[in-house]
Amino acid sequence: MRTIASLGPLRSKTVIVRCDLNVPLADDAHGGKVITDDGRIRASLTTIRELRESGARIVLVSHLGRPKGAPDPQFSLAPVAARMQELLGTPVAFVGETVGDQASASIEALQDGEIVLLENLRFNPGETSKDEQERSAFAAQLAKHADVFISDGFGVVHRKQASVYELARLLPSAAGRLVAAELEVLRRLTEDAQKPYAVVLGGSKVSDKLGVIAHLLERVDSLLIGGGMVFTFLAAKGHKVASSLLEEDQLETVRGYLSEAERRGVRIVLPTDIVVADSFAADAEHEVIPADAIETSSFGASGIGLDIGPESARSFATEITDAKTVFWNGPMGVFEMEAFSHGTRAIAKALTETAGFTVVGGGDSAAAVRTLGFADNEFGHISTGGGASLEFLEGKTLPGLEVLS
């Protein structure tokens, strides 16, 4: 894969950088937006600083949220520009459009080492269009004033979108430092993982993780299952799960994976106890119930499992601290609600205490560790990838990486 060094000297060249600045936003007291987790902005700074030091003229592009192909103020990147300027300690100009006269003028006015951030790419329908010609036309507009392209938004390399794929074909292109670092970690997890190797999977749907499970079964020693997806595993083993999240159409697939794991000598570790609540609410009544007897709770068949129990949290933690490689993707419960955050907190704490190589797999897992007060440097690596990381671990070809080869 081509690296920044392959692009040659960048002084006075205009470099367009595809970042992933898709940060979570919340409303502030003044009717504006405030960033609740700036992890993805921080992750992008290594490449940006290197380009500034090289004397490049830097044009940053990114998406944020899921606007419908038209400008939407709630998804503006303006707060991101302000936060990036604070973190870099240097001006970051913001332009309220992706292409057009204002964007062109701002790019052409750049001096060596200066930075401009363009507005949300997804305000233009060409970014995510299913039509290749429409994507290519938008990419050509983005490329018009640039000399080279750097792909540094790992969270989108699994998407064939204008700023990820077509733009890389129009300009001399290379991977940024973030993409290169993410790829190195993922290769380590799939090709060179030290044993014992434990994978912790959570989140709501087992269907989101089936490909990962299939691809990792031949590589890992243990799979620890929590979150909403665990109830499909419990049901596949014949246990009733009351009103907990259940994907009935995946029961046979899960049974197949349980059999395959047994054949390969891979331990699939399920919770032995579950925190069951009477409703999906932060103040819901709840109690700890054996995982094979969820319907015996006070709430009967209407009970909802919202976290792994304390016994399970302790046994999962032991599995993690005994491992030399740990990959974690997906919270163990509804971590946003204090009463149901303890399982996720226990997993995060165990990862900080193991001497092995630990990877937090982006998305909700990354949000969880920061929400629960853990620092990024307490883990071996926190991915910015989310879906891209999972697709890589499934063994899929990612178009945004393929185009850089």
- Rounded CA gap, 43 and 353, in Å? 23
- Rounded CA gap, 129 and 11, in Å? 34
In the three-class reduction of DSSP (H, G, I as helix; E, B as strand; rest coil), residue 256 is classed as helix
What predicted TM-score, i.e. pTM, was given to this entire model? 0.89
Q: Please tell me the predicted confidence (pLDDT) of residue 257.
A: 95
Q: What is the CA radius of gyration of the chain?
A: 23
Write out the H or E segment, with its range, that includes residue 305. strand 304-308
193-393 matches 4-179 in CATH topology: yes
283 is in an annotated binding site: no
Residue with tokens 């009970």: 303
40 is in an annotated binding site: yes
DSSP structure string for 323-380: -SEEEEES-SS-TTSGGG-HHHHHHHHHHHH-SSEEEE-SHHHHHHHHHTT--GGGSS
Domain spanning 4-179, CATH architecture: 3-Layer(aba) Sandwich (3.40)
How many residues are recorded in the chain?
405
160 is in an annotated binding site: no
Beta bridge partners of 328: 200, 360
Q: Please tell me the predicted confidence (pLDDT) of residue 30.
A: 81
> How many Å from the N-terminal Cα to the C-terminal Cα in the chain?
4
Asked, as a colleague might, if the bond just before 196 is cis with ω within 30 of 0, I would say: yes
63 is in an annotated binding site: yes
Q: Would you give the distance in Å from CA 273 to the centre of its chain?
A: 28
| Residue 363 is a catalytic residue | yes
| Residue 349 is a catalytic residue | no
Q: Please tell me the predicted confidence (pLDDT) of residue 197.
A: 97
- Rounded CA gap, 12 and 31, in Å? 40
| Residue 11 is a catalytic residue | no
The active-site residue out of 126, 303, 333, 363 is: 363
- Rounded CA gap, 235 and 219, in Å? 26
Q: Please tell me the predicted confidence (pLDDT) of residue 364.
A: 82
- Rounded CA gap, 153 and 40, in Å? 9
All residue ranges of the chain with pLDDT < 50 are none
89 is in an annotated binding site: no
- Rounded CA gap, 157 and 27, in Å? 29
177 contacts: CB under 8 Å, gap ≥ 6: 4, 46, 47, 50, 152
Q: Which amino acid is at 336?
A: E
What would the two tokens of residue 122 be?
A: 């997804």
Q: Would you give the distance in Å from CA 177 to the centre of its chain?
A: 17
- Rounded CA gap, 356 and 238, in Å? 35
- Rounded CA gap, 57 and 21, in Å? 19
64 is in an annotated binding site: yes
Q: Please tell me the predicted confidence (pLDDT) of residue 60.
A: 98
305 is in an annotated binding site: yes
> Domain extents for the chain?
4-179, 193-393
Q: In what order do the strands lie in the sheet with 286-290?
A: 286-290, 273-277, 304-308
- Rounded CA gap, 270 and 259, in Å? 14
Find out whether 378 and 208 touch, Cβ atoms under 8 Å.
no
Greatest Cα pair distance, the chain, in angstroms, is 70
Q: Which of 373, 347, 371, 343 is nearest to 360 (CA)?
A: 347
20 is in an annotated binding site: yes
- Rounded CA gap, 288 and 201, in Å? 21
User: Where are the alpha helices (H) located in 73-207, listed in sequence order?
Assistant: 78-88, 101-108, 132-143, 167-170, 177-191
The active-site residue out of 205, 219, 237, 267 is: 205
| Residue 205 is a catalytic residue | yes
Q: Please tell me the predicted confidence (pLDDT) of residue 232.
A: 97
Q: Please tell me the predicted confidence (pLDDT) of residue 386.
A: 77
- Rounded CA gap, 182 and 327, in Å? 13
Extract the runs of DSSP E, i.e. beta strands, from 30-74. Answer: 33-35, 57-61
Q: Which fold has domain 193-393?
A: Rossmann fold (3.40.50)
The active-site residue out of 13, 33, 40, 135 is: 40
Q: Please tell me the predicted confidence (pLDDT) of residue 305.
A: 98
